[in-house]
Amino acid sequence: MEKVTVPIKGMHCASCALVIEKTLKKTEGVKEVKVNYGTEKATIEFDKDKVSLSKMSDSIKPFGYEFIKSELPEKITQKLQDKNINDSLAWKIDPAKQQKLLELRDQKAKIQFVLPVAVVVFVFMMWEIAAKNISWMPSFFITHEIYSTILLIISTIVLFWIGKPFLAGIVKFIKYRAANMDTLVGIGTFTAYLYSAFIVLFPQLRVSLRLPESNYFDVVIIVIGFVSFGKYLEARSKLKTGEAIEKLMNLQAKTALVERDGMEIEVPVEQVLINDIVIVKPGSKIPVDGEIIEGKSSIDESMVTGESIPVDKEKGDKVIGGTINKQGRFKFVATKIGSDTLLANIIKWVEEAQGSRAPIQRIADRVSGIFVPVVLGIAVATLVVWLAAGSQFMPFSNALTYGLLNFTGVLVIACPCALGLATPTAIIVGVGKGAQNGILIKNAESLEKLHKINTIVVDKTGTITKGKPEVTDIILANPVNDANHVFSLFASLEKYSEHPLAVAVVERANEENIGFLKVDDFEIIEGKGLKGTINGVQYYAGNLRLMEELNISYDAELISNLAKQGKTPVIFANNDEVIATIAIADTIKDSSVEAVKQLHKLGIKVVMLTGDNINTAKFIAQQVKIDMVFAEVLPQDKADKIKELQSQGFIVAMAGDGINDAPALAQSDVGIAMGTGTDVAIESADITLLAGDILKIPKAIKLSKQTMTVVRQNLFWAFIYNIIGIPLAAGVFFPFFGLLLNPAFAGLAMALSSVSVVTNSLRLRFARLGK
């Protein structure tokens, strides 16, 4: 089975997505299809031995849709050049976007013609209505016959040129029984046009049938004008929802400076190979992922991780393709290229998440699936009821007038697009906003689930703490001694050891520019510590067992207190006495306290899950103000602790960074991987936080809550709009309140409904995720 995501040309409304989905699912060899109207893409799982992409594209062509190929046809590229769409953005984006830009340019040309005409006709229509109902209003300045002839000519142009997609919708409905929003608008406007043409072209027949002389050419022009304008605004707004992907794509370097045969040569980034030596100059983009082998620099990773402060890198550190070298020249060996780089994976994850469906969308999908046929039924019923029942209370000519207007109004006002766009547009913008802040969301379901969580479980090491030992305390036995000199002696001894605690000591000495002294007769005392001679004096560094063996007394209370704080005490002594006690610990991240504080503000309980001893865990928990602690938990038991919390009714998110966290991440309702962790943890998680910053956990939750608020607002207004609009257009309120909706206003309302949903979703781009 192969899984691909392909852009689709010709999608105009939510019903289009359902038609494409149903048609593709019927194709032999297709296992699963998900069509997203928000992204105008289909994700298809199929057997390539049974069916090809071209065959699938052919199956939807009769309905007016087709797949957009990865390579743009030459004629489209030429058209883009002819129309001067040659800005840097247009040429950095994918063929689907270029196709959309071309369509938008054509739409704009039509809108520039039809919108001014529609506005003028709308004003004249209001004038005519006002003149008939307000005594002081002057009569319309053009005679009815002349104005009707002018409108006949204009409406013919508008219907058969601007309204061509709507007429095509009628043809598709007749030929294939597939209806969408275009079908509804097409039937409504074409019916109004045919009736009006009959009234104007056959006046004697109209008189003999006792039909009113009113025509509805103005309705045809205004409805097509406003609906087309609405579709143009919607399409333009939808392009903005995908800006996050574009920005990520634009981060990719185009070329790389590589070392080959002893020479530095510039090659396209696609030609960089694994193990190539790549040279990066100050101000340049890093082309691919790799590891520094020579030099050091400060690198701006903000575009990928969301972290604004440049990160210092030196030999042995990893670099990310797409980030910017701020200063210093360095060389690195390429370890990941092409689709394997972190940036390429981020783009892939974001695209997949934007194309996925949130569970809340299912109700809108179900309604959209039956929406068009139901509306067609309501429209026909409206006409029949007005003709049958209306003629009992008013002249037949009036009943026919009302019937036709309301028939057209129902077809025009009904809008499945607002329903279809409500969820996907918010998800697209929300996922993109997350990516810009270093929060990678795997799918829409994870984003929806995250806003419901009430408990967050965090691993201690690497999540709450930095994940590496640091010197925390230097406690002198005799305060008279010089602390720097004592630490210099201690660090000189530790420098010869490869123990992780010794590395922490040496790092601290380097940070504080403390010099190292020459050590003679260095020896590792297995399981106990070290010894060596400095300037003729024998020194020891080790644990309690070493001190006891040497019969050197130590401060037991101090050692006990340090141990309770989760610190490892290393005693530094000479042959006679203890000189100092150095405490080493995995220290709390600066951001942990603030992150927990923000989570508490959001009403979320914080639980720490760790394999460390209970004393260390409790001390760390007290420092950070964590609510509950599970300590001394074996890796295989972490998932069971998550189950235990879930059985108590908690909705649990788990944040971790190690291989041993993977089962717990998978078990939790939402798994959050810290981006500094292992690939296994990231693969098991629903959300990945780049740079491993715990402050991004409350940010992710806020983003989820804000996105779901927008989704609910969109769905509410989309449903309310249709629930109120359709009965109003049908004339249901006329017998009680005398309320009727002119199809011209219905067209305006329908145009604004979709635009308002997309615009509301775009507000998420400016959402604040900080405090």
Catalytic residue list: 459
Residue 465 near residue 620, CB atoms below 8 Å: yes
Measure the CA–CA gap between 171 and 21, rounded to whole angstroms. 20
Q: State how far the alpha carbon of 497 is from the alpha carbons of 179, 532, 550, 585, 663, in Å.
A: 76, 11, 20, 18, 36
Terminal-to-terminal C-alpha distance of the chain: 46
Measure the CA–CA gap between 128 and 138, rounded to whole angstroms. 9
CB burial readout 22-40, b (16+ within 10 A) else e = ebbeebeebeebbbbbbbb
* SS3 sequence of 39-78: CCEEEEEECCCCCCHHHHHHHHHHHCCEECCCCCCHHHHH
Measure the CA–CA gap between 480 and 163, rounded to whole angstroms. 92
Q: Which residues, in sequence order, are CB contacts of 58 under 8 Å at separation 6+?
A: none
Q: State how far the alpha carbon of 137 is from the alpha carbons of 132, 141, 145, in Å.
A: 8, 12, 21
Q: State how far the alpha carbon of 680 is from the alpha carbons of 11, 128, 664, 673, 683, in Å.
A: 38, 71, 12, 9, 5
Measure the CA–CA gap between 623 and 608, rounded to whole angstroms. 12
Phi, psi of 44 (to 5 degrees): -125, 130
Residue 47 near residue 31, CB atoms below 8 Å: yes
* SS3 sequence of 436-464: HCCEEECCHHHHHHHCCCCEEEEEHHHHH
Q: State how far the alpha carbon of 749 is from the alpha carbons of 230, 410, 757, in Å.
A: 9, 12, 12
> Tokens at residue 218, please?
């103005």
Q: State how far the alpha carbon of 593 is from the alpha carbons of 413, 459, 623, 700, 725, in Å.
A: 53, 14, 8, 17, 51
Measure the CA–CA gap between 408 and 98, rounded to whole angstroms. 35
Instruction: Please give the distance of CA 393 from its chain centroid, rounded to a whole number.
Output: 56
Other CB atoms within a 10 A radius of the CB of residue 512 amount to: 12
Strand partners, 44: 4, 33
Strand partners, 574: 539
Measure the CA–CA gap between 232 and 599, rounded to whole angstroms. 42
Of 749, 718, 755, 757, nearest to 231 by C-alpha is 755
Strands 311-313 and 652-656: unpaired
Query: Running DSSP on this structure, what letter comes out for residue 514?
Result: P
Measure the CA–CA gap between 698 and 677, rounded to whole angstroms. 19
SS3 159: helix
Tell me the Ramachandran region of residue 312: left when phi exceeds 0, alpha when psi lies from -120 to 50, beta otherwise.
beta
In 134-216, which ranges are continuous DSSP H helix? 144-157, 164-176, 181-201, 203-208
